[in-house]
Each structure stands twice: as C-alpha cells, then as structure tokens.
Amino acid sequence: MAATAQTNLPPCFLMPAAWPLRPILNQPLVRARPSPAPTSRASTARFAISAAMKGESRSSIIEKEQGLYEKAPVVNVDGQLADRWREIHGSGDWAGLLDPVDPLLRSELIRYGEFVQACYDSFNYDPYSRFCGNCRYTPASFFANLGMADHGYSVTRYLYATSNIELPNFFRSSKLHQKTWSQKANWIGYIAVSGDEATARLGRRDIIVVWRGTVTVLEWIEDLKTSQHPVKARGIPCPDESVKVESGFADLYVNKDATCRFCKYSAREQVLSEVRKLVELYAGEKGEEVSVSVMGHSLGSALAVLNAYDIAEMGLTKVGEKAVVPLTVFSFAGPRVGNARFKERFDKELGIKAIRVVNVHDSVPKVPGLVLNEQVPALLWRILEKMPWSYSHVGVELGLDHKLSPFLKNTRDISCFHNLEAHLHLLDGYHGKGRSFASASGRDPALVNKSSDFLKEQVLVPPYWRQDENKGMTQADGRWLLPDRDDHELEDHPQDTHHFLRRLGLAGHQQT
C-alpha cells in the first residue's frame, strides 16, 4: 500500500510501500536501449534529413517554426576560473550562485558532467563482444578517442568493481562466457589529473575521480537491499557507529575478489591508493595548489558521495597536519546514500562540499527510503531518522525542470527524466526560477537523443542515434568480425598500489 495514502504524515513525506521505484510512480519501468557506441564530444551529429536536401539547416527550421533556438546573452567566463575556483567548488556553499545561476558555475558543472558522460560514451555495452563490460579505450587514448583532448586531463588509473554483489542489473557481461575479458569484473570509472596547461587555466592541479552510473536503465534501484549498516562495519573509519549508509552502495564500493585480476583490490582500495599518490606528488612534493573533485551520475553519484566521505575520513585531503586540498562532490541525478547522521558527519564535521544537480521529475533522487526535508517537525525527525528506511541527502541541491525546455517532449518514459545528457541540456538553458529557458553556451540539443527518445520530433534528431558504423564490425581477410584486443593490453593495477595501501594502514590486501 502507498504510505502517503494510509498515514497522517505531512505532504513533505513519501514512503514507498515496497522498494522502491514502481510503487512511487505506479507505472512500469521503461527499458531503454543504450547504444554501445562512443561519440566524439567535439563534433556535432550530422544527419541526412530531407530539410538538409532543401538547403535548410536544422536550426533554421526550428527557429522558424517555434523559436526553440533562443540564446541567452553571451557571458565571457574565460580567465575567471583561476581566481574563483574555490568559490565554484563550494567554499561559500554556493550562496548567491544558484538563483540566478552563475555563468562560471554553469560552465564548470557542464564540464564535470561531460567527464561523467565520458564513462557512458566509452563503455562497451555490446553483449556479442568479449570485452562487454570494459572500457573501449586504453587510458592513454581515452580522452583523445572521445574528442576531449582539449580538456587537458590525462587518465592515471581505471577503476573496476566485482560483479559478485546484489546489483546484477548494474553490470554488463558478454555472451561469450568462457572467452570474455573477465567473468567477475566491470569497468566502473577512472581517475585523471589536469596537465600543466590546464592547471594554469584552472588555477590549481585538479584530480578527478569519476564513477560510472547507469545511462538509462533504472532496474538497479530495485536490487538494493534497503538496509543501512554503519560505515565502520564496512572498513571505513568513523568514530560514530550511528553513521550509516545503504548496504548495496557500500558492498559495491568495498567488495573484492582475490581470484580476479581486475578485482583483487576493491574499488575503494583502488581509489584511495591513487588519490594518496597524486596528492602526495602534487601537493606534497611539488607544493602545488590541488583540488580533488569526485563526480558521478545515478548509481555513480552514490559511489562518489561515499568515496568522498571515505577520502575525508582517511585524511587524504591533508598534507602533514594541515588540510590543504579542497574536496568537492559533483553529483548528477544521485540517490540518497546515508542516514541523517551520515549527512551531519559529511556536511558539518568533515566539511565536504557537495552540489547535487537534479531533475525535479526524476524519481532516483527521491530514493531510497523515506523522503525527509527540512520542514519536518524536530520531534518527528528525531523519531523517524532512527528508522531503517530514513535517508537524507548531503550538500546543496540545484533543481532543474525538463518541462521548461522547449526541446523536450512530454513523455512517460522515466529513463528520459534521469538521462545525464538531458541534465546537461537543462543546465545549459536554466537561468533561475521564473526565467525563460535559453541556451547559454550553444550546447547541441541533439546530444540528448544519443541514448534516449526525449527530443520533440520537430528538432529533427532521431532517437538512440549513437552507434558504431556497422555496429563495430570490421572486414579483414574477407570476413566481418568484431575487433579484438590482446588481453595483455588491458589495464592492470599500478604496481605501487599495495605500497600506498600499506602506507594508509590498510592490511590484508591481495598481491599477485
């Protein structure tokens, strides 16, 4: 039964009767069809449409018919970031930057969102490839293959997670079971660092930790255990056992498999060792100004929040006894992660900054558990926050509304509401409450339909258009085959991983 219809709770509550999404929406999930192919972010999709045959551009047609291509006045933010990056990273909790939206903040949110989108654009979804579930590119060629070389970052490490957990819908596996690259692992993200030229432009050396989420399919939510456990019980240091997080997120973060080449270290161990190494190198040995930016979309957002909490608890933002490295989470369409005590520890005691970009019609940020907000009476809050289904969001929220975009159609496909490219489109056009939607950067709305069917038909962009030519098949020696890779070319863990884990005091790690 729906709790809101059976209780006297005020309207600020929403308690799912059964975990968690279908009862909230009272409609079936729509399984979207993400295409397996990557997309260059430096180029705009080109389509052979009848209008083009008549010499008319897509933009001119839309402009004539509905004026969809309204553009905001251009605000030049070039050169501002080096002086304002701490503010943009939440030093003032984004006060005065959200309504109206600060142009530099918008630019940075889109930039970090594109780092997250890169996970989707590079992930191998093809079940007929023996590399399904891995990244399509090597770390050295990652950004170049995605058309993002001008971002000025280099990948230092790939991240993997074991699929032997209770989130089966999150993982992808090949139909070639015995010949697959790994029967137990999936690629789950990457760590990168800004190069010298980008560092000068950014005003500091930026270390980014990027977590892969779920591009459209939302069934992973129903796999969660809907139970909280103390973070301390998962090996994450914490002085208070009442600080709890959702157990499914924690399992994905800390689980490992000693028999697996890619998962002999947990995702947690992989990140902590690399962040420690990079902070020591740049903030310690070189004495540079450094930031750590952790980001993700959907389930990846939950991992980003948990990971940032762990980084702070482990003291990785400190060089010596002095805290010198700002730590910020950039969350896109993320669920709740922990209880109210987790939020308090995260926001106030550890001082981690987090900004959450959400579509107000997306249901993922409303789960797991009971929805609470600041309007709950204090006495009722103290009672309910101890319940196992009580969760609280961390950080500051920037709420967007897809119904304000003239490009997006009315649909009941809830995966569209959750789509990351749609969030970036909304960021580009949102200027504040009561203000009209107008593109600030000219970001191509066609990107929304890469792996969705969310654009109106008059925009003249086909749905689910992202795909490889011939579905990745290539012809060699008269035969059509999917490209193969040498297993030795696959990314191994850095040889110094165990060294840095030992320095962090993390014992019992598997070596090979």
Residues 346 and 342: their CA atoms lie apart, in Å, by 6
What distances in angstroms separate CA 100 from CA 59, 105, 114, 460, one per listed residue?
27, 11, 22, 31
Strand partners, 290: 205
- In tens, the pLDDT along 66-84 reads 556 666 666 667 779 999 9
Q: What is the CATH number of the domain that holds 95?
A: 3.40.50.1820
Maximum Cα–Cα distance across the chain: 74
- Determine, yes or no, domain membership for 276: yes
Residues 417 and 400: their CA atoms lie apart, in Å, by 11
Domain count, the chain: 1
Q: Are the CB atoms for 365 and 393 separated by under 8 Å?
A: yes
Q: Which two tokens stand for residue 274?
A: 């690399």
Indicate if the pLDDT at residue 51 is higher than 60: no
Q: Lowest mean pLDDT of 48-57, 293-302, 356-365, 480-489, name the range.
A: 48-57
- Determine, yes or no, domain membership for 19: no
Residues 66 and 408: their CA atoms lie apart, in Å, by 13
- Determine, yes or no, domain membership for 148: yes
Q: At what angle do helices 247-254 and 267-279 cross, to 10 degrees?
A: 70
- Determine, yes or no, domain membership for 427: yes
- Residue 341 CB-half CA count within 13 A: 20
Q: Which two tokens stand for residue 120?
A: 């989707």
Q: What backbone phi and psi angles, to 5 degrees, belong to 217?
A: -70, 130
**How far, in whole angstroms, is CA 223 from its chain's centroid?**
19
**Residue (of 261, 111, 108) closest to 181 by Cα position:** 261
Q: What is the dihedral of CA 93, 388, 3, 20, to 10 degrees?
A: 80
Q: Are the CB atoms for 199 and 220 separated by under 8 Å?
A: no
- Taking only Cα atoms into account, the Rg of the chain, rounded to an integer number of angstroms, comes to 23
pLDDT band at 352 (very low <50, low <70, confident <90, very high): very high
- In tens, the pLDDT along 172-216 reads 777 776 678 888 889 999 999 999 999 999 999 999 999 999 755
Looking up tokens 């019609």 gives 361
Residue 279: predicted pLDDT: 97
- Determine, yes or no, domain membership for 202: yes
- Determine, yes or no, domain membership for 430: yes
- Determine, yes or no, domain membership for 24: no
Indicate if the pLDDT at residue 111 is higher than 60: yes
Residue 464 DSSP code: T
Looking up tokens 């948990």 gives 306
Q: Which domain holds residue 57?
A: 29-503
Residue 126: predicted pLDDT: 86
- 47-67 mean pLDDT: 47
| Active site members | 298, 362, 418
- In tens, the pLDDT along 243-283 reads 999 988 999 999 999 999 998 999 999 999 999 999 999 99
- Please tell me the pTM assigned to this model: 0.84
pLDDT band at 122 (very low <50, low <70, confident <90, very high): very high
- Determine, yes or no, domain membership for 511: no
Residues 10 and 17: their CA atoms lie apart, in Å, by 16
**Residue (of 392, 391, 449, 444) closest to 415 by Cα position:** 449
Q: Are the CB atoms for 36 and 467 separated by under 8 Å?
A: yes
- In tens, the pLDDT along 228-246 reads 899 999 999 999 999 999 9
